Amino acid sequence: MILLAGFAAGIWGTYREAFPAKGLFRVTGVFEGRGGETMMLIRHDAVPGLMPEMRSMVFVAESRNLLDQAALHPGDRVRLTVRQNAPNDLMVLEIRKLR
């Protein structure tokens, strides 16, 4: 029973990593550059439930401060938490560098 509970918790954790909350998605990719105060170019992997892998896509950060604090350099692997405001409008709420 304990083993089954541990297995279920692991599956739930994996699910929450991809889908943090309703309307939020995780995007994993490579930072390519910054365009303006809040815009960034990301080459990203497929996003389950949202879109396929893309060669390059513009994302807009919630604030300039969020992007400044991330201190990203071209080639950095990142995980973004995004909110879909409209079909073609994604707002970055969190940026985390991956190693």
Q: Are the C-beta atoms of 40 and 59 separated by less than 8 Å?
A: yes
CATH code at 80? 2.40.50.320
Residue numbers of the domain that contains 67: 2-97
Our count of domains for the chain comes to: 1
Q: What is the pLDDT of residues 5-15, one digit of tens each?
A: 555 555 544 44
pTM across the whole model: 0.75
76 or 19: whose pLDDT is higher? 76
Cβ burial, residue 90 (10 Å; 0-12/13-18/19+): buried
Q: What is the mean pLDDT of residues 59-83?
A: 95
DSSP state, residue 51: B
Q: What is the 3-state secondary structure (H, E, C) of 1-49?
A: CHHHHHHHHHHHHHHHHHCCCCCEEEEEEEEEEECCCCEEEEEECCECC
Query: For 35-58, what is each residue's pLDDT tens digit?
Result: 989 999 999 999 888 889 888 999
What phi and psi, each to the nearest 5 degrees, are found at residue 91? -110, 125
pLDDT at 1: 64
Mean per-residue pLDDT over the chain, rounded: 84
**Three-class SS state of 46:** coil
Task: Tell whether the model's pLDDT for residue 90 goes beyond 90.
Answer: no
Report the pLDDT value the prediction gives residue 6, as an integer from 0 to 100.
55
pLDDT of residue 73: 97
pLDDT at site 21: 66
